[in-house]
Amino acid sequence: MPKSKGNPAMRTCVGCGRRRPTCELMRLTLAHGTRVAFDATGKQPGRGAHLCPRPDCLKSALQRRAFQRAFRQTLSPAATDALPASFPAARLAWITARPPRQRVARITTQLEAFFGEPRWQGPEDALDILILTVLSQSTNDRNRDIAYQRLRTAFPDWEAVAAAPAQAVADAIRPAGLANQKSLRIQEILRWVQDTYGALALDLCTQPPGRVEETFLQLKGVGIKTISVVLMVCCGADVFPVDTHVHRICQRLGFVPQGYTAEKTHAAMQPLVPAGKSYSLHMNFLRLGRSICRARSPQCPECPVSIWCPAAQNI
Ligand code: SF4
């Protein structure tokens, strides 16, 4: 009988003894001459055993009788000698042999199990979020929020910001950095919104996300990250914004090459994210990037997705 999607085949790791879905386990096969070899794709015929792709499980497997029983014979030490040395390469081959969509789906599930499933909080004002996201460029959340509060306190409404001298706007948003450049961009955006829609208000949620992106990407200071954040936060659209944390994690997890820009990463990742999971994965990548997979010194032994990560260290 075919397995249902919600009921994946389970196997026991010969290292730690835990039962896991087979897609999370490496397969070991008995090769010619009674030597054990890794089977990266899990498709080689013959007798096999399953193993979590962690050095600790390999170490433990090599000392366990269960490992030997899995092959129904006593393996000589020579039969497993080559395993530790070849393990890093075998682990990498195992990770890259998984289809990227499957890896993203498992990572999404594991992050939800670890951090919880973030849920969209409901509609927000699109113009407010657009300006907030422009302020967030090249700065941290704290400075962005200070600058935004100062801007809202200094001017009674967006009409007043649009009509103010650029210097006054720049002074208000200075904590966010690049104040002169951002003040000009914000005023250009506000005037464009006024001219295009006849009022300083945006109703984006009734339009297809693709059309909104096309329209707003023509504006200076609005990139794909900015408009994706607006669509995701304000409308609950199933779009996957790629900011600096998300970009770094996607590179470390091997979904995009090191040289990719954030824009190219956005285009590569969006088709891989499970339907309806953009918000959850984006928010959980932010949490992972701030707490564990930091730019410097990632804490790989603490990481809930280390088994899927080619860049994992000391796991
Ligand atoms: S294993 Fe390490 S490098 Fe990979 S995602 Fe986790 S913290 Fe980042």
Considering the chain, what is the average pLDDT of its residues? 93
| Most informative mutation of 309, 313, 315 for ligand 1 (most atoms within 8 A of CB) | 309
H/E stretch holding 187 reads helix 179-197
Ligand 1 neighbourhood includes 311 CB (under 6 angstroms): yes
> Is 95 close to ligand 1, i.e. is its CB under 6 Å away?
no
Is the CB of 312 inside a 6 Å radius of any atom of ligand 1? yes
Ligand 1 center to 107 CA (angstroms): 12
Regarding predicted confidence, which is higher, 140 or 77?
Answer: 140
Q: Which atom of ligand 1 is nearest to the CA of 302?
A: 7
Residue 5 has pLDDT above 60, yes or no: no
Q: Which of 128, 97, 118, 130 is nearest to 229 (CA)?
A: 130
Q: Report all structural domains of the chain as residue ranges with CATH numbers, in order of start.
A: 10-97 (3.30.1230.10), 126-235 (1.10.340.30)
Instruction: Specify burial of residue 259 (Cβ count, 10 A radius: 0-12, 13-18, 19+).
Output: exposed
Q: What gap in Å lies between CA 254 and CA 281, rounded to an integer?
A: 16
State the average pLDDT over residues 46-53: 91
Range from 20-29, 39-48, 113-122 carrying the lowest mean pLDDT? 39-48
Determine the average pLDDT of the residues in 161-175.
Answer: 97
Atom of ligand 1 nearest to the CA of 249: 5
pTM of structure: 0.91
Q: Is the pLDDT of residue 132 over 80?
A: yes
